[in-house]
Structure 1
Amino acid sequence: MNKNLLPLALGGLAIGTTEFVMMGLLPSIAHDFRVSIPAAGYAISAYALGVVIGAPLLTTLGRQLPPKRILVLLMVLFTVFNAFSAFAPNNAVLFVARLLAGLPHGAFFGVGSVVASRLAAPGKQAQAISNMFAGLTVANLLTVPLGTYLGQHYSWRLALGGTAGAGLLTLLAIHYFLPALPAQNTGSAASELLLFRRRATWLIMLITAIGTGGLFCWVSYIAPLMTEVSRFPATYVPYIMMLVGLGMVVGNVVGGKLADRMKPVTACLLLLLAMAATLLVIFFSSGNQIASLVLTFLASSWSLALAAPIQILMIQSSKGAEMLGASVTQAAFNMGNALGAFWGGLPIAMGYGYTSPSLVGVGMALAGSGFAYVLARTMRQQPAEPLLEVVA
């Protein structure tokens, strides 16, 4: 890994921890606040909603600043609001705290993706972006299981407080180690907003929000799925989360290489179809412990393999507004988080059991692959042009 990308990877570690640790903490939070698991799961949707709001808003507000300064400010917000989450006295306050904690998430990955691509060697942009997301995958391998363990044996508040500490470390790393790059402000905010008049922009957002939402239908409720259906002891959940993280590590590397070797939209289509197939098998096979573990690894691999192809796809389609485009992709990803957690919880609340969310996920992944197919045709007919040329 390029050493200049290490502060971005550390930021991915902090953000990945706070986003995914909630899945393993839901039973503890529900017990502490005396609410149902689906009700506790609304905190996951709140965080995702914060990402959706914060990604375009904070990126637009900071568009005239150098990227390094933007990233420092975003990590300040991240650290403060995660500390707030750790001290929430009830489920309603936790909902608000998680909403605020999600605000800097999308903007960080959006700005960080553009920085990574600018620091990359020619032809290695997608792999550079995947290096940034490597922090997120390591979070799922190490710090998310650790946070789950702390939540089960001590308090979920320690896990969320730890994410604030990770944010502080990231803040220092960015300040001291990330190279200073000049601001890339080549046009007005109005010209950048023309991004949303493009069909390709909305198709990429739909691929991300609907397609990756299939993952969150399943992973948002992985703890009760593994304990109630696969019949693993609750003490095994941290290790299962490590398996999720290992799958994401492998998938992230594969996705970066795929996006540099084939068209990113083709990689997205293939990976979404693989995700749909895996989630379908999960619906039928979660009662078998060995099959459940293998499928957990595969599903998590497909999910993070999508990160680099989708991000480079949006950057290539957002000439003249790359930071806004990349941050909007992260907003869409977390719309998928919110939709997946919400839609996945509905059949559980209706009494269909903890395997039912994966079936909802199949439909979402297939819909995402359909949008990818339409996008591929659109890109052949209408190649992307710089937004500033459109204004001129």
Structure 2
Amino acid sequence: MTTARALVLASLFGLPACGSSYVPASSEDRCGPSPGVAQPLPSLGHDPKPFEIRHLAETDFGGPRQGYLYRFEREDSGTTESLRAVHMIHGGRVLVVGDHGTALTRDAKAGWQKEDPGTTENLYALVAAPHDKDGTVITEELRKHKPYIAVGSKGAAVVRGLDGVWQAEQTGTSADLFALIHLGATTVAAGAGGVMVERSREGVWRTVKTRTTADLYGLGICGSYVCAVGAGGTMLQCASRDGERVCIPRAPATQATLRVNEEGNVMGDGIWLRYVQPNQTEPRPPPSYAPWPEGNAVLSGEEIRAVESNHWGGISETLAVGRRSTIWFLGRGLPEKRPLERVKLPFEVDFHDVAYELTDGFLVGDRGTIVHLAIEGFTPPHICLL
């Protein structure tokens, strides 16, 4: 394996890199000891009877699927407000926002702690937003405690700085904002009536023309474009040209309400869309999507609210959440061969968002519901760059 490919694999799967080749477990290890079993975050002890299942996670490098214990444990959030968005960093902060200005952080000992975001508006979306400046050294402490942006009803936007203090900003719109994506130098929000606004690293918001009046519920990366999706199957593909973001509506592949995650997984009311490989390569046309029949048979009558991918080798799969505490696991691999597995959790609420990384996940929803997903018995594959 070349050094470049090994680095890509290490980056993609979240694995440490020490040299330039893959070292099988049976061969001599020149990069130190095996990482050992990955431990999930400690339980807060709030749930006397967690829901547990044995689940076969996907593996990489063509290996067999491995079975691990998945424990879904409800945690006391200290609120009954609906929780709309969650973000986590492995080994770092877990942050949740929701209705009426709710903002919570998780402490390993004290549990969920309230913060004051400086607004009483409903907060629908949350994104980590590190704006790297020239000469800035990104330390481990900065990585774990990067700034965040949340948006919500009536055009509300609040920013949580490195010091943990929230500040409100003016977005220039009174429309509800439902979706966010951070693009390195800028952050984009979208919402009701086709509204889209973009924030510079200096905190200045400006309007982006979308050429649609449909409500937009999701923002992601579809190929080389930023895509926005929403009501009635609406899909926009946006690109930056001469410093301006230009959005073009595409013909809908469905009339269902759609959502998308940052990696371009498009799904919604009873439907999952798959990427259609274009015949033309140069110049490459904008990505297009079509219903995924095998997946949609599992989704019939259901509604997906959010989806998150776990990139770590050995648990590299996607977790989607929806109404009535229903979740779906989507395996890696070719679209026609990926299993889509449905699980009904016993919490009897609608989930609105999910975060999922290595051996931990967090699901948030109505009535202050927070569920911690802990994966037991997982040992990350040992990749060594020599």
> What is the TM-score when the length of structure 1 is the normalising length?
0.27
> Larger relative contact order (C-alpha < 8 A, sep ≥ 6)?
1
- By percentage of residues, which structure has more helix? 1
Rg larger in 1 or in 2? Answer: 2
- By percentage of residues, which structure has more strand? 2
